[in-house]
A = this chain, B = another copy of it.
Amino acid sequence: MAELGETAAAEEDHLDGLYGLTDDLIRETLAAIGAGDRQRLKALTAPLHAADLADLFQALSAHNRTLFEEFMAEDLDPEVFVHLDEAIREDLIEDLDSEELAKVVTGLESDDAVELIEDLEDADQRALLETLPAVDRVLYEEALGFPEDSAGRLMRREYAAVPSVWNVGQTIDYMRADPDVPDAFYGLFVVGPDNKPLGVIMTSRLLRSKRPVAVTDIMEPDIKLIPGTMDQEDVAFLFRQYGLVEAPVVDEAGRIIGVITVDDVVDVIHEEHEEDLLKLGGVKADDLYEAVADTIKSRLSWLCLNLLTAVLASVVIGFFQAEIEKIVALAVLMPIVASMGGNAGTQTLTVAVRALAMKELTTSNALRIIGKEVLVGGINGVVFAVLMGAIAYFWFSDLLIGVVIGIAMIVNLLVAGLAGILIPLAIDRAGADPAVGSSIVLTTVTDVLGFLCFLGLATIVLL
């Protein structure tokens, strides 16, 4: 492990001093936990940002983690829970009684609190909500009334807004005087008498304007109103597309009910991308911190599906047992055709899944891109037909075997290109997520057709 240690140290070098968690710190924390030295633990963790402290929790084993939580007790910054991986957060929350949990929730901003509450079991959620003051409870219940992963769950309830009849001076005086104005915001919303947002004023713009100027004169009227029910993926798309810093969330009547800021969206973009990556790899969720049993459960269904498709491909091979018995070279060469088809198809599929997620694959260009992929597949097919044909010819001293594998390669790479784009398009059209399952459908197609084409051709040409 010494070697691994060196890499990690080298890795952190370019972040030195900027990223709070170091291997030394982990070692010292472990030592302090082992010695049960609360004072030392508190001294070690005091300079850490909540996000680094969360990473520290994640670097520990489950046993040490629980001990660490107990030792820290009420000194633990509630923000740490926000930064924890879900699996670990659940574990740590389970160790808290409802009073301790209520203390954590009240220590958080409203959007962070909702993130914590929404993951609780129904009974725990109800129990927790009952311990909270009525005004908070209503707020959280409203947020939880929005669908999971929606703008309504993501938004912060504390926002800064001023009436459209005010001027800069009134606005500044109000903000200096009113304790209800949130402490940190980038823009102020200008709202009409019906509480509908009319525009936004960057605080820097406000700072640079003279007191008598009307707020409507310096506001940016071209704002994106986010419906509370909008999916967070669409919210992230809008923020990225338009370089938004914050956007008002509105109810069905168009009245402002909250605000989403770009730092929350950074997390969403991160999450959504990560989900896509994991889904394409056949993993349901980030299972790094899950128990072995949970990891097995989450991966088993994908492998079961894969077994089915692998058996299907084998059944196809089974049709040609007599031929393979006569020409055993077929058995040697057949995995190559399937493997090349699978890989070429995966290339196309990856580009297509990404383009669908980015809304870059649309009706207006779908036909053009399908045509391009077929062309790419065909040309690649010819290249590898020549290459593999030559290899097979020299290997088995049989020209016909070379010809058969060559033709099979062309057909399979053509099919791979076509399937790589059509499968995700079809899954997307059916309203499902093309990142899930499309790769298994693709390899089934390329395996089955690869074996069928190669062995079928061989039967016709060679026997």
Q: Which A residues lie at the B interface, using CB under 8 A?
A: 1, 3-5, 7-8, 11-12, 14-15, 18-19, 23, 26-27, 49, 51-52, 55, 58-59, 61, 160, 172, 175-176, 181-186, 202-210, 224-226, 230-231, 234, 237-245, 262-263, 265-267, 269-270, 273-274, 276-278, 280-283, 286-288, 292, 295-296, 299-300, 302-303, 306-307, 309-311, 313-314, 317-318, 321, 324-325, 328-336, 338-340, 343-344, 346-347, 349-351, 354-355, 359-369, 372, 375-376, 379-380, 383-384, 387-388, 391, 425, 428-429, 443, 447
Contact = CB atoms under 8 A, between A and B. Distances in A.
A58 B360 contact: yes
Copies of this chain, count: 2
Given A278-B351, A292-B376, A339-B443, 14 more contacts: A4-B429, A7-B428, A12-B359, A19-B359, A55-B360, A203-B206, A276-B277, A281-B350, A282-B347, A288-B360, A300-B380, A303-B340, A321-B331, A324-B331
A375 B292 contact: yes
Contacts of A428: 7, 11
Contacts of A317: 331-332, 335
A351 B279 CA distance: 10
B346 A282 contact: yes
9 contacts: A5-B363, A7-B428, A23-B364, A59-B364, A175-B207, A286-B351, A302-B347, A311-B336, A314-B336
Nearest to A241: B51
Contact of A302 (B182, B242, B343): B343
A269 B239 CA distance: 13
A310 B332 CA distance: 10
Contacts of A51: 241-243
Nearest to A245: B263
A425 B286 CA distance: 18
A273 B266 CA distance: 12
Given A19-B238, A292-B372, A184 B205 contact: yes
A396 B185 CA distance: 70
Given A8-B363, A273-B273, A18 B238 contact: yes
Contacts of A23: 362-364
Nearest to A288: B355
Contact of A447 (B52, B324, B335, B340): B335
A425 B8 CA distance: 10
B176 A208 contact: yes
Contact of A280 (B241, B263, B281): B281
Contacts of A204: 160, 175, 182-186, 203
Nearest to A366: B4
